[in-house]
Chain A
Amino acid sequence: MILRFLLATTVAMFAHTAGAASLLKPHEESRDILAVDAAFQVQPALWQNGQLVIGIDAAPGCYLYRDKIQLVAIEPAGYELGKSDLPAGEAHHDEHFGDVRILRDRVLARYTPKTAKRPQKVRIRYQGCAENLVCYPPQERVLTVEAVR
């Protein structure tokens, strides 16, 4: 009898502590808000077998807008990268952008230009949010393209 009472008390103590904590702060608030370069880490631009690949690592809980990822070659001028090959991503309703697709985790953007010559420098633009916490303004980075042998 005593054992049953103590067990019930113990369980109640745990539930009460957890419950009180959940009232103090909703779960999403406990996540750290990252600086934009930690939320979205742009990987080196790599050229291999006539293909340009750029990765962006989105931190857990962060996502990129698929249609905001844009890449242009800036050296040589006029270089055409062609269409991007991005993952399909997941459907998302955004209060401002409407129905969009978003990308999480490691995002690889692949380009297969018509020419076999490697571009020297590219500029990538991207934008995203940390879910239910903050959003980041459009970002732009210039990358030197590295050849992979």
Chain B
Amino acid sequence: MRKTASQALLIVALCVAAAGGGFAVYRHLAQPTVIDQPGGVAPEITLEDLTGQPRKLSEWRGKLLLVNFWATWCAPCLHEIPILLEMQQQYGARGLQIVGPAMDELEAVRNGAPQLGINYPVLVGDSEIVDAMQALGDELGALPYSVLIDANGNIVFRKHGEFKKDELQQLIKQHLPAG
């Protein structure tokens, strides 16, 4: 009888430990990487493209605009570019427009963007990019930094770090303009 009771106690203790351990692991691994809270209308931002032409973000109003700040010297930025290319290819006709402001030297981007096969507009600058990032909510000064702006010009999502394909696809589907 006593043996059965101690066995039961052991089982209960193991169950509690397993549940606690599992929950701790879940909490640790499931922390979001989204640091900034979205909100508000995106400010007007003007940056030069690779030909030196000034481009305003508002020229893409009416589309779901993903502004992906990157640099040729930023390995995590390079990792996610194939996913961005795929998303632009897949959802461009349904209203997605990706724009890639690069914090870099003009020549580096002129050489790097074609090599990466970038199929969306690339903008370039130095301190102008820092200012643009801050205007769009960046407080960390880290790349990649992505801001999703809906068709009405509202910031709906911000993120530092690489997108995973499923994550980005879900976001795009959620915010694509009706049509």
Contact = CB atoms under 8 A, between A and B. Distances in A.
Contacts of B62: none
Contact of A3 (B7, B29, B33): B7
A94 B22 contact: no
Given A30-B31, A34-B140, A135 B22 contact: no
B22 A25 contact: no
B19 A30 contact: no
Nearest to A3: B7
Interface stretch (B50-58, B73-81, B93-101, B168-176): B73-81
Interface stretch (A53-61, A70-78, A125-133): A125-133
A14 B16 CA distance: 10
Interface string A27-38: 101101111100
Given A132-B76, A135-B77, A24 B141 contact: no
B178 interface: no
Interface stretch (A5-13, A43-51, A83-91, A115-123): A5-13
Nearest to B129: A137
Nearest to A18: B25
B42 interface: no
B82 to A, nearest CB: 13
B161 A29 contact: yes
Nearest to A133: B161
A108 B74 CA distance: 25
B156 interface: no
Contacts of A130: 142
A141 interface: no
B29 A21 contact: yes
Nearest to A132: B76
Given A10-B18, A22-B25, A33-B33, 4 more contacts: A13-B22, A25-B31, A135-B73, A135-B142
15 contacts: A10-B11, A11-B18, A25-B29, A25-B31, A29-B161, A30-B29, A33-B161, A95-B75, A129-B75, A133-B76, A134-B76, A134-B143, A134-B160, A135-B76, A136-B142
